[in-house]
Structure 1
Amino acid sequence: MASPLTSSTGLGSGLNITDIVSVLVKSDTAAKQAQITRQTANNTAYISGVGALRSALTTFTTAMSKLNDQASPSFNAYAATSASDSIVKATASNTAVAGTYNIEVKNLATSSKVASQAFAAGASTSIPEGDLVISQGGKDYTVKVGANATLQTVRDQINKELGGSGFSANIVTGEDGARLVLGSTTTGANTDISVSGLGLDIDGTKSMADNGAGYITAVAKDAVVLIDGLEVKSASNTVSDAISGIKLDLNGASATGVTTKVTVAANNDGLKTSIQAFVDAFNTLQKAVTSLTSTSKDEDGNTVLGSLTNDPTTRSLLGDVRGVLSEVGAGDRLTTLSQLGINTQRDGTLEFNSTKFTAAMNDKKLGGEVQDLFTGTGGIFERMNKAIEPYNSTDGSLATRKASLDKVAANLAEQQAALDRRTDSLTESLTKKYVALDTALGKMKAQADQITSIFEAINAQAKKS
């Protein structure tokens, strides 16, 4: 900005040079300054509005992503509960069937853990150069051991090269020496680890106690579960195909003969909560857009426009988003939100009628189709994201708009800097001119005073004579 003038009064003329120069400078720059100020205010409001709109869209799409979490689906028609999650945790999918099941976990699935023979020299025991072959489940993994290797360096090499395959190695030192101990994340029968080569031979199907090297406690085992008395085996502690639509996570063995009840029932309350969460997320977006595009009155009765009022991009976005809500889905019986009691109100927000929702669940039995309506292929979430993506992506229209507005802001800043330079230059130039004029007037006044003094002296002399 231009530097302020220091107030000064001409000594020769008595005029306020500062005020005169200020008025002249303002008369020259006022129109351009008003234009820059107005355009800067409007551009800043647009930038703020675009930022707020993008933030609201991101919040909405994030809420949809949480509701569309594949690991924990929000629109399952059924919910499963276990009497003891520490024994078995049950999760129902949309294809489950209501019912109760008595679960007894006979044993959990275990992994193989084996140890080599003991080496009296400890972790520094020399290991010859060559190939170490580790086998599991019919697959061989070769570790090429170089020269000057020790038991410790072999351990480190196994962890580095085979850690990604689920293997882990360590050294355990006991009274009889150091042993290379191998474990695996793979569980189930017939996944016992065997090792051959370099004097580290281990048969994972034999006991270390009997053979010097082998399994430490037991061979790897499948999980064994009784479901309503029917035996089910599983290589892992997650059983997904024993009961249709139900996943069982086995967390502990049951006491002998003791069962844990798993109950599967309609998930109406869960569906209602998830649908309400969607409605709330959409209404938050709608209210944010309304605040950016609406008009209001200030305390003086003047009309105040929102930062994006009459903005064509925002109008287009709203039209696309609302269009998704009114589209007919591809379900068999549940195809519209209105069937679940969701309707659009006059202000654009959604209303969720719980009475109509309850009727849809209990009377019309539409619970099994809610998931497809929202998260299925071509569902509301997929279509909503497709509608929003062209606007809110990193190269979308709103990002392009923001970049354009930033350029305008930079240009206005340059215009303001140029105007400030002109103001400073004009102020300096006019001040010099008026100071020079004041100096000239001062000299003329001094000369006039001198002439007046001469005439006064002559008149005084004439009166004496």
Structure 2
Amino acid sequence: MAGATISGPGSNIDTQAIVASLVAAERAPKQTQINTQTLKATTSLSSLGKIQAALDAFRGALDNMKTASSFSGLSGSSSDEKVATVTTGNGAAAGSFALTVTQLATASKISTKVFAGGASSVVNAGTGPTSLNIKQGSNTFTVSVPAGATLQQVRDSINSQYTNQGLSANIVTDANGSRMVLTSTTTGVGSDLTVTGDSGLETGVTVLAPPQNALYTLDGLSMESKTNTIADAVSGVTIKLIGASVVPASGTATPTSITVAASGANLKSSVKGFVDSYNALIKAANAETQVTTAADGKVTSGALTGDASLRALLSAVRTELNSMAGTGQLKALSQFGVQTDQKTGTLSINDKLFDAAALTNAADINGIFSGDNGLLARMKTATDSFALSKTGVFAARSASLSDSLTALKKQQDNLDERMVSLQASLSAKYTAMDSLVARLRAQGDSVMATLNAINKASSSDN
């Protein structure tokens, strides 16, 4: 063999190449099996993860659409959004209301005494820690004030611990010095802030602003709210108070008109939201089951082509999609322009059909989607068994594939160990063979030397 390395000095045979070939031949079948199964499991696990993510997104969108209840086809508006804004939800009905806002709900705001040395003034001049307790109703926010702590450090400690709980602290400085101002995001009468403890900050506290309720009238009825977001005054309507109504020189405020009315655009936007969410799930499934044909005619199947679990999921959602629902004249999506592409399974909206149906049968469209037996609820129920994070169909499949990959890793380790052992064994055998050949060759050379000597001696005698 040209260029071969002669590793057996006795036999002049490349024993290393022979051993490597034998080991490779022994490894090949099992290695091919492990590689094939590992690639398939890894690819399937990745594809299942994508389907799970798409399913979770779809179910999340269903929850959002159920909460928003925008399939009612109603939308809220305010004639003066500087006074109030409006959103509609479950239970909303068409109507209009006159709103006048006298005052907004406000939060408690208090100030500590003035520290002449400014923000760097030492609050705790002692040798041990003290405590500042900030109370609001049944809640107590406790702040430890270490020895030598400054006003700025106490402020930072309050904000780092309690900003997310609606309590904040700021330092206000003027010619007299600095003071810490405490503010709460909780509004309404009864949410007063008070301070106790032994930090020294609890003395000389000033109330800058007591909490107060929002005062307003709705269709002439005087009402109060502890917050500026009013969700229970009108069923299904949330009113967010932004500012007090303007009182002109005449002394009578002009009411803000709150209107809840049918909106075809709002209804169409909701249906489109459902269509887009559904299509995202279908496209994710199509991507993982697609069969492609290369230019050379080679056919490649998707990782989940023919997968029974995915087929079951798609069958479940399509069954609900095609089911008749509602109590009105329209009971199917196709009747108001939602059409299915027979090739891809995705949905689209025929604008002309939808606009005509929404104009006269908006309540029917709402009935198909909303309610305990509506499409949104049924879709959520139909996908429950597939989406559960630990016991769902896809979670179980993913766990099984992960176990398979672990087992394949163990098989790979065992194969590697076995091949190392085989290589060592074969190397030892071929080394022994080479040594035997070397000894036989040496003996042969010795015999030939003796015979040559005898022949030479015989020739000399003649």
Q: TM-score, normalised by structure 1?
A: 0.71
Of 420, 423, 429, which aligns to 1:427? 423
Of 367, 382, 385, which aligns to 1:387? 382
Of 335, 338, 344, which aligns to 1:339? 335
Query: Is 1:252 aligned with 2:243?
Result: yes
Report the alpha carbon displacement of residue 375 of structure 1 after superposing the two structures with TM.
4.1
Hey, what's the Cα distance between the residues in 2 that align with 1:182 and 1:459? Answer: 122
Of 322, 330, 353, which aligns to 1:356? 353
- Residue in 2 aligned with 1:53? 51
Report the alpha carbon displacement of residue 297 of structure 1 after superposing the two structures with TM.
2.1
The 8 Å contact of residues 106 and 256 in structure 1, kept in 2 or not, is answered as: no
- Residue in 2 aligned with 1:279? 275
The 8 Å contact of residues 333 and 366 in structure 1, kept in 2 or not, is answered as: no
Query: Is 1:324 aligned with 2:314?
Result: no
Of 431, 435, 439, which aligns to 1:439? 435
What is the SS of the residue equivalent to 1:223?
A: strand
Report the alpha carbon displacement of residue 327 of structure 1 after superposing the two structures with TM.
1.7
Hey, what's the Cα distance between the residues in 2 that align with 1:326 and 1:417? Answer: 51
Hey, what's the Cα distance between the residues in 2 that align with 1:461 and 1:184? Answer: 123
The 8 Å contact of residues 223 and 237 in structure 1, kept in 2 or not, is answered as: no
Structure 1 residues 78, 424: CA separation in 2 closer, same or farther (over 3 Å shift)? same
Structure 1 residues 332, 417: CA separation in 2 closer, same or farther (over 3 Å shift)? same
Of 343, 363, 366, which aligns to 1:366? 363
Hey, what's the Cα distance between the residues in 1 that align with 2:411 and 2:453? Answer: 62
Moved more, 383-392 or 91-100: 91-100
Which residue identity lines up with residue 461 of structure 1 in the other structure? A
Structure 1 residues 99, 321: CA separation in 2 closer, same or farther (over 3 Å shift)? closer
Q: Deviations over 1:5-61 (max 9, x none)?
A: x96531122212122223333443433333323322322232222222212212222
Unmatched 5+ residue regions in structure 1?
Answer: 1-5, 116-122, 125-133, 142-158, 160-164, 173-180, 196-212
What is the SS of the residue equivalent to 2:324?
A: coil
Unmatched 5+ residue regions in structure 2?
Answer: 112-122, 125-134, 140-157, 159-164, 173-180, 195-204, 249-253
Q: Deviations over 1:361-408 (max 9, x none)?
A: 1133437x52x5334222222222222221121221221122222222
The 8 Å contact of residues 325 and 374 in structure 2, kept in 1 or not, is answered as: yes
Hey, what's the Cα distance between the residues in 1 that align with 2:5 and 2:406? Answer: 34
What is the SS of the residue equivalent to 2:361?
A: coil
What is the SS of the residue equivalent to 2:300?
A: strand
Hey, what's the Cα distance between the residues in 2 that align with 1:239 and 1:427? Answer: 80
Query: Is 1:15 aligned with 2:7?
Result: no
Hey, what's the Cα distance between the residues in 1 that align with 2:166 and 2:62? Answer: 34
Q: TM-score, normalised by structure 2?
A: 0.72
What is the SS of the residue equivalent to 1:75?
A: helix
Which residue identity lines up with residue 428 of structure 2 in the other structure? K
Hey, what's the Cα distance between the residues in 1 that align with 2:46 and 2:231? Answer: 50
The 8 Å contact of residues 369 and 375 in structure 2, kept in 1 or not, is answered as: yes
Structure 1 residues 404, 109: CA separation in 2 closer, same or farther (over 3 Å shift)? closer
Q: Deviations over 1:161-213 (max 9, x none)?
A: xxxx999999x9xxxxxxxx99998877x8698x9xxxxxxxxxxxxxxxxx9
Hey, what's the Cα distance between the residues in 1 that align with 2:206 and 2:458? Answer: 145
Alignment map for 1:258-273 (pairs within 5 Å): 258-273=254-269
What is the SS of the residue equivalent to 1:10?
A: coil
Of 16, 41, 44, which aligns to 2:42? 44
Alignment map for 1:61-460 (pairs within 5 Å): 61-68=59-66, 70=67, 72-93=68-89, 96=92, 103-109=99-105, 220=212, 223-225=215-217, 227=219, 230-235=220-225, 236-240=227-231, 246-257=237-248, 258-347=254-343, 348-366=345-363, 369-370=365-366, 372-395=367-390, 396-460=392-456
Hey, what's the Cα distance between the residues in 1 that align with 2:136 and 2:424? Answer: 89
Hey, what's the Cα distance between the residues in 2 that align with 1:439 and 1:187? Answer: 96
Hey, what's the Cα distance between the residues in 2 that align with 1:324 and 1:365? Answer: 21
Hey, what's the Cα distance between the residues in 1 that align with 2:302 and 2:347? Answer: 22
Q: Deviations over 1:83-121 (max 9, x none)?
A: 432311122346556566654423335678899xxxxxx
What is the SS of the residue equivalent to 2:339?
A: strand
Which residue identity lines up with residue 377 of structure 1 in the other structure? D
The 8 Å contact of residues 64 and 381 in structure 1, kept in 2 or not, is answered as: yes
Hey, what's the Cα distance between the residues in 2 that align with 1:381 and 1:280? Answer: 14
The 8 Å contact of residues 70 and 88 in structure 2, kept in 1 or not, is answered as: no
Report the alpha carbon displacement of residue 223 of structure 1 after superposing the two structures with TM.
0.7
Hey, what's the Cα distance between the residues in 1 that align with 2:136 and 2:449? Answer: 125
Which residue identity lines up with residue 81 of structure 1 in the other structure? S
Structure 1 residues 169, 397: CA separation in 2 closer, same or farther (over 3 Å shift)? closer
Q: Deviations over 1:123-161 (max 9, x none)?
A: 99xxxxxxxxx999xxx99xxxxxxxxxxxxxxxxx9xx
Hey, what's the Cα distance between the residues in 2 that align with 1:426 and 1:13? Answer: 22
Aligned residues: 410
- Residue in 1 aligned with 2:148? none
Which residue identity lines up with residue 223 of structure 1 in the other structure? L
Report the alpha carbon displacement of residue 216 of structure 1 after superposing the two structures with TM.
7.4
The 8 Å contact of residues 334 and 366 in structure 1, kept in 2 or not, is answered as: no
Which residue identity lines up with residue 19 of structure 2 in the other structure? V
Report the alpha carbon displacement of residue 325 of structure 1 after superposing the two structures with TM.
0.6
Report the alpha carbon displacement of residue 256 of structure 1 after superposing the two structures with TM.
0.9
Hey, what's the Cα distance between the residues in 1 that align with 2:83 and 2:434? Answer: 101
Hey, what's the Cα distance between the residues in 2 that align with 1:114 and 1:245? Answer: 36
What is the SS of the residue equivalent to 2:320?
A: helix
What is the SS of the residue equivalent to 1:91?
A: strand
